[in-house]
Amino acid sequence: MPQLVTVKVNRPDRRPIRFWIPVLPVALVLFPVVVLVVLAAIVACVVFRIGVVRALGAAWRVISALPGARFDIEHCRTAVLVAIR
């Protein structure tokens, strides 16, 4: 499971802004929302006849593969760099 998300915003003619977001405290705060999303996903799997265990397993594998991922987004002269550790 990812532990830290680093966000860096490079703006033209200004100093870059950096954010360090710890994943565990954010996950604990959003836990009630996560429970509702998982329940909605289970209902959607049943409605569309998708294996619930396989779908939740695939979602867990995607979350487990996130550490080490980097996303670089550029628009005009502003760049946003996101690193997941």
> How many structural domains comprise the chain?
1
Nearest CA to 78 among 13, 20, 6, 18?
13
Reduce the DSSP state of residue 22 to 3 states and report it.
Answer: strand
* d(C-alpha 79, C-alpha 69), whole Å: 17
Query: Domain range spanning residue 47?
Result: 4-84
Extract the tokens encoding 33: 């929302």
Please tell me whether the overall predicted TM-score, pTM, comes out greater than 0.75 for this model.
no
- The pLDDT profile of the chain, 85 residues, written as one tens digit per residue, is 789 999 999 988 889 999 999 999 999 999 999 999 999 999 999 999 999 999 999 999 999 999 999 999 999 889 999 999 9
* d(C-alpha 62, C-alpha 41), whole Å: 15
Radius of gyration of the chain (CA): 17
